[in-house]
Structure 1
């Protein structure tokens, strides 16, 4: 019996198969009511990345510097002067060829010779800080004026404190 079953199955598998083609179904397009149509948002094509990046605009240097103040009878920079000097250094670095004059001043206390020496020491302390911040020392000129050019009255302590200063000016 098993033999007959195998013959029957193999006999069926050996017959050539006929390909039955059915006619293609007719496609009927239906119109959809206007309220059912939902417009898909148009997708924007991604923009190509620029091959050359444009340099960021650099603001022109601002040479309107604050004065650097010092304690009485000292050429050591005050702690609050560091932030001012860091800002000055950043502005100076925008134009590495710019030249500056560093003018040191003193209040009226002390002898004229001592105040002259102190004002030069104050200007040099500022120059040293700027050189250590990356500014070329060749672009910085130091002057000392002692108490000869006060910016405030030397009659009050507040005025004398304002006169203990260093001014930095851009040379055209």
Structure 2
């Protein structure tokens, strides 16, 4: 039979095992919780004009010419709103790694005109139900919007649309075509 010491020892061991189990569950729970994205306020961008070149005309011996009263303005390069496809992983609104460089370039172009408005159109491939693909395409468009807002673009200048699998750019019969259809397109609104 069990003695009092053995029962005490068994209860102590069970208590320790239970406490360890609770501790592991608590740690696991914290690591599995969805992470909340923290938006940091964008720093104020102050654009400074580059100093204009000063042109001084060399005076002729007959008629001296006065120097120009206003310096010549340097032409600013207009924004390029030709954006490439932004690609996503299969069945996900997670951006593919190669899309980061494209989004960084898009953010730089968008910052050239702080008042420009854009629409972000999300798309999906044919796999899944129509309702699921619609939700996925909206999530993809919102993922791009979040990336751009975190890059300093005003979120009020970005509208989001989801089209699901209704506007494919390639055949959904091949994996290569389905990959091209998992995309987001950004268009400038005139």
Q: TM-score, normalised by structure 2?
A: 0.62
Q: Does 1:158 align with 2:172?
A: no
Match of residue 128 from structure 2: 110
Secondary structure of 1:153's aligned partner: coil
Partner of residue 161 from structure 2, selected from 143, 149, 154: 143
Match of residue 92 from structure 1: 110
Give the unaligned 5+ runs of structure 2. 1-69
Give the unaligned 5+ runs of structure 1. 1-51
Partner of residue 61 from structure 1, selected from 79, 87, 112: 79
Secondary structure of 1:127's aligned partner: helix
Report Cα offsets for 1:123-167 as digits up to 9, x if no partner. 000000000011000000000000001011101111000000000
How many pairs were matched up?
A: 124
Q: Does 1:82 align with 2:100?
A: yes
Match of residue 47 from structure 2: none
Q: Relative to 1, partners in 2 of residues 1:56 and 1:86: Cα closer, same or farther, differing over 3 Å?
A: farther
Q: TM-score, normalised by structure 1?
A: 0.68
Q: Does 1:128 align with 2:146?
A: yes
Query: Based on CA coordinates, which of the two structures has the bigger radius of gyration?
Result: 1
